[in-house]
A = this chain, B = another copy of it.
Amino acid sequence: MRNDEIPNPAVYRLSFYLRQLESFRRGDRHTISSKQLGEALGYSDAQVRKDLAYFGQFGHPGIGYRVDDLIQQLKKILGTDKIWNVLLVGAGNLGRALLAYKGFVRKGFRMVAIFDTDANKVGRKIGELQIRSDQDIATVVTELQIRVAMLAVPVEAAQSVADQLVGAGIKGILNFAPVALNVPADVVVQSVDLALQLEQLSFRMSLGETSQDGAPSL
């Protein structure tokens, strides 16, 4: 199947399916139906089946989906079936929290270098890693074959650091600065704006809603 036929929201749901399946597996569930998986997440059974069918035939009629199998398949589809080397720019509060965050490692994302533009911070160690100057980005990216960067710098610096990252050959940026980054078409940006999330929560609190979670579109 061609990739551009897959609805964006479906790709987000894939991650939720994976998360839920891992929870089912911890509960020693070996097999699961689209109905059960959907109910746990607030989706219809048809939605679950359709989403999965975009990527292949993973189910067994009369049985459902084998939990272990489907986890493996989803990891493969999402690209987390292997280890990724990731670099971090910005050794402030947020950067240090990201560095320590266990959830990344659990998914196979390994932080292998930290950079900061602040000369005072350069050279200091955080955990195992020594903070390096942003001047070294290009060298390190090449040496360690890094394709993904996390950007946790102040909004004023974000675009220029993004340019450096792109120049160094980075192909994906997880951006925490509240700004729309300008990058070439072959570089993917995924943005997380924390204050924006709280603002959205504030909006939804003034309605009679039941909604969960932040997710997709384009």
Contact = CB atoms under 8 A, between A and B. Distances in A.
Interface of A: 3-4, 8-9, 11-12, 14-16, 18-20, 23, 40-42, 77-80, 84, 86, 93-94, 96-98, 100-101, 103-104, 106-107, 109, 147-148, 150, 171-174, 178-181, 185-186, 188-218
A202 to B, nearest CB: 4
Nearest to A171: B205
Given A78-B202, A107-B198, A190-B204, 9 more contacts: A3-B208, A79-B205, A93-B100, A97-B97, A180-B212, A188-B204, A188-B205, A189-B213, A215-B216
Contact of A148 (B16, B78, B181, B201): B201
A101 B107 contact: no
How many copies altogether? 2
Contacts of A195: 101, 103-104, 106-107, 109
Contacts of A11: 200, 203-204
20 contacts: A11-B204, A12-B200, A15-B199, A18-B199, A19-B193, A41-B180, A77-B203, A79-B202, A79-B206, A106-B195, A148-B205, A172-B202, A181-B212, A188-B209, A189-B213, A190-B200, A190-B201, A191-B212, A211-B218, A216-B216
